[in-house]
A and B are shown apart, each in its own frame.
Chain A
């Protein structure tokens, strides 16, 4: 589903990522763990196509990819509800979008914020909204940057529950960055420890 071969990336003249090879198949769920500033977020954003690598190739065999990043890019002029509608628009008919959006806003504790715009929401709410978009999609590739941080117990349960379901059905390749390792091990994620700097990694079978 997701192949990264020989990825290199330098930021400001400093090499952050050096030779990452990562092969994820349907049903794989891995979590990158390690100290902050080691390049995990950069690697996830390269895998998602948010930023370009300096070298190497990224291949995604996906029809619906869901991503949530730490800065949660949202449409500032649309409400939470309409933001979800926008991001789901390519994958579901309107009626289903409405239902799925309402359901996920509820699960992420945002039912009261459905008609609020991002400027009226806190940073945590925006991140929950962005996670809701990625999960509501029923993605076949899912990439989440710190999906469990700053979440209350109910929301954490909603997220891990959905991750567990996707994992059990073997319907998605999942790449996570998280420090909540016990919660993720419980639902069957493989933890990939990163301690080298610049980041280098070999995971999965080519």
Chain B
């Protein structure tokens, strides 16, 4: 708790210093920002935009996770399919999010599709590789024995594959949550009219600096909340031990 308060205090001091140096027109002071944030919190627009961003991020992560599980398990079990897919994954990995955002804005317009698909495109490759590699690393002799005993596919999935890849998938999911979150905001900034990212864009266009800073605080606050609530506990589960901050 003490290191946390200390870093908060450091940020406040630096922030106030910058605000004096550049003037409150460019860098609103922490107090001004807090007042603006308090004002925004009474409007429904703020909660709506926050909810939109959070929903988009979560839907995107869930869709990506499902896709990565299905395709990753298939590719992990068959070397041919894996060698077939790996160039595609390499292309996907080499494509910067900005390209997806541009293309998807043209193809899909400014709705929910852009942020969700951009997160999927950028988080899918690492998550997929994570699943495929952990499936490929499963005990082959155990899988062969199950086959000899003619164990049904759904039991092999439930009792060998899923428990075997569980820790690796959790580790991959922590990464996906942390980065997918930021990608959602960027995609909204560039390709959507609603959500926190879009609000940051509008504040920037109007040069409403207190609002811009308030949205930034909301974004950072959500990211930290995610980190401390979900990501830490997932990581701890994945490692089967404790995580030191």
Contacts and interface: CB of A to CB of B under 8 A. Distances in A.
B150 A50 contact: no
B29 to A, nearest CB: 56
Contacts of B142: 73-75
A65 B141 CA distance: 16
Contacts of A65: 148-150
Interface in A74-94: 74-75, 77-78, 86-91
Contacts of B151: 86-87, 89-90
23 contacts: A48-B148, A49-B147, A50-B141, A50-B145, A65-B148, A67-B145, A67-B148, A67-B149, A71-B141, A73-B139, A73-B142, A75-B142, A78-B159, A86-B151, A86-B155, A87-B149, A88-B149, A89-B152, A89-B155, A90-B150, A90-B152, A133-B149, A137-B149
The 10 closest A-B pairs by CB, nearest first: A73-B142, A90-B150, A73-B141, A73-B145, A87-B149, A77-B163, A50-B144, A89-B155, A90-B151, A86-B159
Nearest to A60: B148
Q: Tell me which of B145, B151, B159, B160 has the highest count of chain A C-beta atoms within 10 A of its own C-beta.
A: B145
Given A75-B159, A78-B159, A86-B155, A69 B141 contact: yes
B169 to A, nearest CB: 15
A39 interface: no
B46 interface: no
A147 interface: no
Instruction: Give the contact-size bracket for chain B.
Output: 10 to 19
Given A67-B148, A73-B144, A75-B159, 7 more contacts: A49-B144, A50-B148, A67-B145, A73-B141, A87-B146, A90-B150, A90-B151
Interface of A: 48-50, 64-67, 69, 71, 73-75, 77-78, 86-91, 133, 137
Interface string B143-172: 011111111100100011001000000000
Contacts of A86: 146, 151, 155, 159
Q: Tell me which of B148, B152, B160 has the highest count of chain A C-beta atoms within 10 A of its own C-beta.
A: B148
A66 B148 CA distance: 7
B146 to A, nearest CB: 7
A50 B146 CA distance: 10
A168 to B, nearest CB: 24
A133 B146 CA distance: 11
A64 B150 contact: yes
Nearest to A64: B150
B222 to A, nearest CB: 35
A19 B145 CA distance: 25
A49 B160 CA distance: 19
Contacts of A64: 150
Interface in B74-118: none
A66 B144 contact: no
A49 B155 CA distance: 20
Contacts of B163: 75, 77
Contacts of B160: 75
B175 to A, nearest CB: 24
A2 to B, nearest CB: 13
B149 A90 contact: yes
B60 to A, nearest CB: 31
B239 to A, nearest CB: 17
A119 to B, nearest CB: 13
A140 to B, nearest CB: 12
Contacts of A88: 149
Contacts of B147: 49
A66 B150 CA distance: 10
A89 B144 CA distance: 15
Contacts of B146: 86-87
A48 B163 CA distance: 26
B240 to A, nearest CB: 12
Nearest to B159: A86
A66 B152 CA distance: 15
B183 to A, nearest CB: 34
Contacts of A91: 149-150
Contacts of A89: 151-152, 155
A49 B149 contact: no
